[in-house]
Amino acid sequence: MRADSTQGQLETLLLGVMADGPAHGYRVIELLRERSGGAFDLPEGTVYPALHRLERGGMLASAWDSESGRRRRVYRITEHGHAELAGSRERWQRFSRAVGDVLGAPAGA
Amino acid sequence: MPERDPIDRYLDDLARALQVHGPRKRRILAEAEQHLRECARAHGAEEAIERFGSPETVAASFTPGRLSRAYGQRDRIAALLLLAAMAASVPPAVQLHSDLEKVQSHALVPFLLFLAPTAVVALASAGLALRRAPLGVRLAKLLAVMVVVTAIVTAPPLPPASGVFSGYHAAVARGVDVAGCGGREPAVCASDHASEIRINYTLGALALTAFYLWAVTGWEPPRRRRRQPQTA
């Protein structure tokens, strides 16, 4: 899937991944790819600006961690991030239902 | 010479392309390095780099559009500034030539001949920098050396610059170009003007050249290397 297909949704997708627990950037991107069945295969470096924006918005917090023997920046979702994710989920489900109602079931289904 | 690690090369390219500075830039580079090395352990350095995206794409994703575009054009902006500064220096030179002629001084000719190679290199470098030709960058480095040499000659001043200042003193002493002297003695006024010209023009030329050199070469301070902790 093209990178611009995620325009405006990337931050919500990242919050969705982060809701499962703290992770470093590389792992976040792996989870995004795995959970989308490989559909969200973005240039990995372009995911970091979104992580930084979420952190600046108070939805993620991060800190350097060396526990595994490798120094990594680990991100975790905040209370504010959970609240934003819940709101985004609800809006997406409403939008998705509305689009489904208009377009109908695929032909032959 | 041993071949450099491709990840180090990539990070140097990313550092040059990034349009953010200070702690934010250091953090971006540190995170990029951790990511690339982690990915390289599983997939190899080349694939890690390919998956991360080109330095330009990654850098652009960190910067708002307008600022990004202006920063991306900094070499051309600097080249235009250099050309504008050279054009702006022509009227004062013509005025100086006119003043010196009034006291039969021909000291400007050897000084202009001394400056001519620097002016030619500056014109060529700026023209090539506008077209983003690599030769423009090489000439910018040569230009920096020539401007420093010119500053060394002009600031004390040494010949042939000293002849121009002597002629200027003589012109002011004879009442030529005394508009800004107020009630000062012509000799004192001439010294003041000459000092202002030497200091302002020399510092201005050095500052402009430093800015130009930085803009066209995309120079960045060396990245501080951090040792990779060993995996337990």
Structure tokens at A100: 């489904």
Residue/partner pairs of A87-96 with CB below 8 Å, 24 or more apart: A88/A12, A88/A15, A89/A16, A92/A12
Percent of chain B with pLDDT over 90: 44
Residues 6+ apart with CB under 8 A from A36: A1, A13
DSSP of B75-98, one letter per residue? HHHHHHHHHHHHHHTHHHHHHHHH
Instruction: Tell me what pLDDT residue B178 has.
Output: 65
Q: How confident is the model at residue B9 (pLDDT cuts 50, 70, 90)?
A: very high
pLDDT at B105: 83
Of A25, A43, A46, Cβ closest to residue B31: A25
> Which residues does chain B have within 8 Å of residue A46's beta carbon, measured at their own beta carbons?
53, 57-58, 61
Predicted confidence at residue A8, as pLDDT, reads 65
Arithmetic mean of pLDDT over chain B: 85
pLDDT, residue B200, reads 87
Is the pLDDT at A5 greater than 60? The verdict is no
The pLDDT of residue B231 is: 43
Neighbours of A11 (CB within 10 A): 20
Does any CB of chain B come closer than 8 Å to the CB of residue A26? yes
Return the higher-pLDDT residue of B46 and B62: B46
Residue spans per domain, chain A: 3-102
Give the model's pLDDT for residue B232.
38
- Count A/B contacts: CB-CB distance under 8 Å: 64
Q: What is the pTM of this model?
A: 0.53
pLDDT band at residue B230 under the 50/70/90 scheme: very low
| B223 in Cβ contact with B15 (< 8 Å) | yes
For residues B180 and B172, the answer to whether their CB atoms sit within 8 Å is: no
Measured between its terminal Cα atoms, the distance across chain B in Å is 32
What would the pLDDT profile of A58-87 be if each residue is shown by its tens digit?
Answer: 899 999 988 767 788 999 999 999 999 999
The answer to whether the Cβ–Cβ distance between A68 and B232 falls below 8 Å is: yes
User: What are the residue ranges spanned by the domains of chain B?
Assistant: 6-72, 74-217
Mean pLDDT for B38-49 is 92
Of B108 and B197, the one with more pLDDT? B108
| pLDDT tens column, B140-187 | 999 999 999 999 998 888 989 988 888 888 888 787 766 777 777 877
pLDDT on residue A108:
57
**Confidence class of residue B198 from pLDDT cuts 50, 70 and 90?**
confident
Task: Name which of A24, A26, A48 is nearest B28 (Cβ-Cβ).
Answer: A48
Per-residue confidence (pLDDT) for residue B24, from 0 to 100: 87
pLDDT at A2: 45
CATH 1.10.10.10 fits A3-102, yes or no: yes
The better pLDDT of the pair B223, A80 is held by A80
**If interface means Cβ-Cβ distance under 8 Å, which residues of chain B face chain A?**
14, 27-28, 30-32, 34-35, 38-39, 51-54, 57-58, 61-62, 226, 228-232
A12-52 confidence digits (pLDDT tens): 999 999 999 999 999 999 999 888 888 887 789 889 999 99
What is the predicted pLDDT for the residue at B182? 72
Half-sphere exposure of A85 (CA within 13 A, CB side): 20
| Nearest in space to A48 (alpha carbons), one of B68, B36, B21 | B36
- pLDDT higher than 70, residue B67: no
Q: What are the tens digits of pLDDT across the range B81-123?
A: 999 999 998 998 888 888 888 888 888 899 999 999 999 999 9
